[in-house]
Amino acid sequence: FGGTLLNTISPLNFRVYDATADGDTPFLQFNVDFATSTVGVGYQGRLTMQPGTGSNAALAAATWTTVDAINGGNASWTWSKFAVGPNLVAGGGDDNTWPDGNTNEYRTWNDIITSIPTAKLLTPGTFFGVRTGQPGPAGATNFVSSINFDGTVYNFEI
Protein backbone atom coordinates (compact mmCIF):
# COMPACT_ATOMS: atom_id res chain seq x y z
CA PHE A 1 0.00 0.00 0.00
CA GLY A 2 3.02 2.29 0.38
CA GLY A 3 2.81 5.51 -1.59
CA THR A 4 -0.98 5.35 -2.07
CA LEU A 5 -2.49 8.85 -1.86
CA LEU A 6 -5.22 8.97 0.77
CA ASN A 7 -7.51 10.93 -1.55
CA THR A 8 -7.57 7.97 -3.98
CA ILE A 9 -8.67 5.31 -1.46
CA SER A 10 -12.28 4.12 -1.54
CA PRO A 11 -13.62 1.99 0.07
CA LEU A 12 -11.79 1.41 3.33
CA ASN A 13 -13.44 -0.80 5.93
CA PHE A 14 -12.79 -3.68 8.29
CA ARG A 15 -15.03 -6.36 9.78
CA VAL A 16 -14.52 -6.92 13.51
CA TYR A 17 -15.93 -8.70 16.52
CA ASP A 18 -15.43 -7.19 19.98
CA ALA A 19 -16.66 -9.45 22.79
CA THR A 20 -16.99 -6.66 25.35
CA ALA A 21 -17.09 -3.40 23.31
CA ASP A 22 -14.98 -1.67 25.95
CA GLY A 23 -12.26 0.92 25.32
CA ASP A 24 -10.02 -1.72 23.75
CA THR A 25 -11.95 -1.98 20.49
CA PRO A 26 -10.15 -2.97 17.30
CA PHE A 27 -8.92 0.01 15.29
CA LEU A 28 -7.41 0.71 11.87
CA GLN A 29 -3.98 2.32 11.75
CA PHE A 30 -1.30 3.10 9.15
CA ASN A 31 2.00 4.95 8.79
CA VAL A 32 1.52 8.29 7.08
CA ASP A 33 3.63 10.58 4.92
CA PHE A 34 2.06 14.04 4.72
CA ALA A 35 4.56 15.04 2.02
CA THR A 36 4.67 18.62 3.31
CA SER A 37 7.59 20.85 4.19
CA THR A 38 6.30 21.28 7.77
CA VAL A 39 6.93 17.66 8.78
CA GLY A 40 9.94 16.67 6.69
CA VAL A 41 10.69 13.17 5.46
CA GLY A 42 10.65 9.70 6.98
CA TYR A 43 8.34 8.28 9.60
CA GLN A 44 5.72 10.91 10.48
CA GLY A 45 3.48 8.92 12.77
CA ARG A 46 0.27 6.99 12.22
CA LEU A 47 -3.27 7.87 11.34
CA THR A 48 -5.78 5.96 13.46
CA MET A 49 -9.53 5.38 13.14
CA GLN A 50 -11.08 3.77 16.21
CA PRO A 51 -14.77 3.07 16.80
CA GLY A 52 -16.08 4.95 19.84
CA THR A 53 -13.60 7.85 19.54
CA GLY A 54 -14.09 11.27 17.99
CA SER A 55 -17.47 11.17 16.25
CA ASN A 56 -17.17 7.45 15.39
CA ALA A 57 -19.96 5.20 16.61
CA ALA A 58 -19.02 2.65 19.27
CA LEU A 59 -19.11 -1.07 18.47
CA ALA A 60 -21.94 -3.21 19.76
CA ALA A 61 -20.73 -5.94 22.13
CA ALA A 62 -20.48 -9.50 20.84
CA THR A 63 -21.58 -8.58 17.31
CA TRP A 64 -19.79 -8.82 13.99
CA THR A 65 -19.60 -5.26 12.64
CA THR A 66 -18.25 -3.81 9.40
CA VAL A 67 -16.60 -0.52 10.29
CA ASP A 68 -16.52 2.02 7.46
CA ALA A 69 -13.26 3.92 8.03
CA ILE A 70 -14.24 6.58 5.50
CA ASN A 71 -17.99 6.75 6.22
CA GLY A 72 -18.82 9.10 3.37
CA GLY A 73 -15.82 11.18 4.41
CA ASN A 74 -17.15 11.66 7.95
CA ALA A 75 -15.13 9.05 9.86
CA SER A 76 -12.98 10.61 12.61
CA TRP A 77 -9.23 10.06 12.49
CA THR A 78 -6.42 11.12 14.80
CA TRP A 79 -2.67 11.47 14.25
CA SER A 80 -0.24 9.76 16.64
CA LYS A 81 2.10 12.78 16.58
CA PHE A 82 -0.61 15.39 17.30
CA ALA A 83 0.72 16.06 20.83
CA VAL A 84 4.19 16.99 19.54
CA GLY A 85 3.07 18.79 16.38
CA PRO A 86 4.72 18.92 12.96
CA ASN A 87 8.24 19.44 14.31
CA LEU A 88 7.76 16.13 16.20
CA VAL A 89 9.41 17.58 19.34
CA ALA A 90 7.52 17.91 22.64
CA GLY A 91 7.45 21.43 24.06
CA GLY A 92 7.53 23.17 20.70
CA GLY A 93 5.22 25.97 19.72
CA ASP A 94 3.41 23.67 17.30
CA ASP A 95 2.32 21.07 19.87
CA ASN A 96 -1.29 19.88 19.50
CA THR A 97 -1.43 20.75 15.82
CA TRP A 98 -1.49 18.85 12.54
CA PRO A 99 0.99 19.63 9.73
CA ASP A 100 -1.47 22.17 8.28
CA GLY A 101 -1.85 23.93 11.68
CA ASN A 102 -5.28 22.50 12.50
CA THR A 103 -5.77 22.18 16.28
CA ASN A 104 -8.56 19.56 16.31
CA GLU A 105 -7.33 16.23 17.66
CA TYR A 106 -9.92 14.33 15.60
CA ARG A 107 -10.57 15.20 11.98
CA THR A 108 -12.83 13.71 9.34
CA TRP A 109 -11.36 11.77 6.45
CA ASN A 110 -12.63 14.47 4.06
CA ASP A 111 -11.02 17.24 6.10
CA ILE A 112 -7.66 15.47 6.07
CA ILE A 113 -7.61 14.73 2.33
CA THR A 114 -8.89 18.20 1.44
CA SER A 115 -6.50 20.07 3.75
CA ILE A 116 -3.46 17.87 3.07
CA PRO A 117 -4.01 16.48 -0.46
CA THR A 118 -0.42 15.17 -0.63
CA ALA A 119 -0.97 12.79 2.32
CA LYS A 120 -0.17 9.18 1.49
CA LEU A 121 0.78 5.87 3.08
CA LEU A 122 4.44 5.96 4.01
CA THR A 123 6.96 4.24 1.77
CA PRO A 124 9.39 2.75 2.58
CA GLY A 125 8.33 1.72 6.05
CA THR A 126 4.75 0.93 5.17
CA PHE A 127 2.57 -0.32 7.99
CA PHE A 128 -1.17 -0.88 7.61
CA GLY A 129 -3.20 -2.97 10.01
CA VAL A 130 -5.84 -3.44 12.63
CA ARG A 131 -4.85 -3.38 16.28
CA THR A 132 -6.73 -3.73 19.51
CA GLY A 133 -6.15 -2.03 22.83
CA GLN A 134 -3.53 0.41 23.97
CA PRO A 135 -1.63 -2.08 23.97
CA GLY A 136 -4.59 -4.11 25.17
CA PRO A 137 -5.59 -6.07 28.23
CA ALA A 138 -4.39 -9.63 28.65
CA GLY A 139 -7.94 -10.97 28.40
CA ALA A 140 -9.20 -9.01 25.37
CA THR A 141 -11.33 -11.04 22.96
CA ASN A 142 -11.42 -9.33 19.58
CA PHE A 143 -11.30 -10.65 16.03
CA VAL A 144 -10.82 -9.20 12.56
CA SER A 145 -12.26 -11.22 9.68
CA SER A 146 -11.47 -8.91 6.75
CA ILE A 147 -10.09 -5.59 5.56
CA ASN A 148 -11.27 -3.89 2.38
CA PHE A 149 -8.57 -1.55 1.08
CA ASP A 150 -9.49 0.38 -2.05
CA GLY A 151 -11.73 -2.38 -3.37
CA THR A 152 -9.50 -5.35 -2.59
CA VAL A 153 -10.83 -7.51 0.23
CA TYR A 154 -8.34 -9.35 2.42
CA ASN A 155 -10.43 -12.09 4.04
CA PHE A 156 -8.94 -13.83 7.05
CA GLU A 157 -11.64 -16.55 7.20
CA ILE A 158 -12.32 -16.59 10.91
**pLDDT, tens digit, 9 for 90 and up, residues 115-130:** 999 999 998 888 999 8
Position 120 scores a pLDDT of 93
**pLDDT, tens digit, 9 for 90 and up, residues 67-103:** 999 999 999 999 999 999 998 889 988 999 999 999 9
pTM score: 0.91
**CB neighbours (10 Å) of residue 142?**
21
Residue type, 81: K
Confidence of residue 51 (pLDDT cuts 50, 70, 90): very high
Surface-to-core class of residue 5, CB atoms within 10 Å of its CB (0-12 exposed, 13-18 middle, 19+ buried): middle
CB of 103 closer than 8 Å to CB of 96: yes
Position 136 scores a pLDDT of 58
Question: Per-residue pLDDT for 140 more than 80?
Answer: no
